[in-house]
């Protein structure tokens, strides 16, 4: 997969800055995720035949709906998502979100209604101390209210020209299933500036809540850290 995004076919309708991202990923059998994917999609796999489950906390900043200015306060919040990787019948690769926990209720409700994304309201904290990123989260809705605690140290090792890192991070679309069918949203951003990460702490219940019990008990197969990118989304396609 290329690390540079193709240009959007239409104008950007949403722009955001994604900062201080931590990418934790586990290799799984495609059969474990196929039941969670939208219609007309299947698990996207690496050459070894595996697909991947990601747990990704970051800070989302400066949400903008061009040509309007950035949304104050509500357009900046912490998020932690659990995501899968899919390809559709036309060969279009994407991210599929199993859950997205975020700390502001209004954006959570707006994204559920307008975009059909499985956002959940959560109490969250994040901090950066030198090369170490720490994130805490507790969901504020639902019966189980899963929590997560993540700490990763960015190493000095840059990641460039790595096929697996590109597969996990250079994703230029998402598939979202709605009552009207599966929608395909394109996005673009500059290549992720990536470093290897060292996992310092992980105590997570979000993966199990998303349908993957026991996964967090395993050491992640890939740990990456990025200072961030600015991303732009075009409107949905069928």
73 pLDDT higher than 70: no
How large is the average pLDDT for residues 151-169? 97
Indicate the domain borders of the chain.
Answer: 14-237
Q: Is-contact 234 185, C-beta < 8 A?
A: yes
Q: What is the pLDDT of residue 1?
A: 66
Q: What is the pLDDT of residue 2?
A: 66
Q: For 90-119, what is each residue's pLDDT tens digit?
A: 999 999 999 999 999 998 998 999 889 999
CATH number of the structural domain 14-237: 2.40.400.10
Q: For 123-152, what is each residue's pLDDT tens digit?
A: 999 999 999 999 999 999 988 999 999 999
């Amino acid at each position: 997969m290329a690390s540079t995004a193709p240009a959007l076919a239409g104008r950007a309708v949403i722009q955001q800055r994604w900062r201080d991202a931590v990418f934790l990923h586990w290799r799984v059998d495609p059969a474990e995720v196929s039941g969670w994917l939208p219609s007309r999609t299947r698990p996207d796999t690496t050459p070894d035949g595996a697909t991947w489950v990601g747990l990704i906390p970051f800070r989302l900043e400066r949400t903008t709906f061009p040509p309007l200015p950035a949304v104050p306060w509500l357009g900046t919040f912490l998020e932690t998502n659990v995501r899968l990787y899919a390809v559709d019948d036309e060969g279009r690769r994407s991210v599929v979100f199993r859950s997205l926990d975020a700390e502001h209720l209004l954006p959570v409700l707006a994204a559920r209604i307008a975009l059909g994304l499985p956002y959940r309201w959560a109490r969250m904290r994040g901090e950066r101390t030198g090369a170490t990123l720490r994130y805490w989260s507790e969901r504020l809705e639902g019966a189980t209210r899963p929590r997560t605690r993540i700490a990763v140290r960015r190493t000095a090792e840059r990641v460039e020209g790595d096929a697996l890192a590109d597969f996990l991070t250079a994703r230029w679309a998402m598939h979202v299933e709605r009552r009207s069918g599966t929608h395909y949203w394109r996005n673009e951003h500059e290549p992720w500036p990536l470093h290897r990460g060292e996992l310092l702490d992980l105590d997570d219940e979000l993966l199990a809540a998303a349908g993957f019990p026991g996964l967090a008990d395993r050491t992640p197969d890939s740990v990456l850290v990025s200072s961030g990118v600015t991303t732009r989304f075009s409107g949905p396609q069928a």
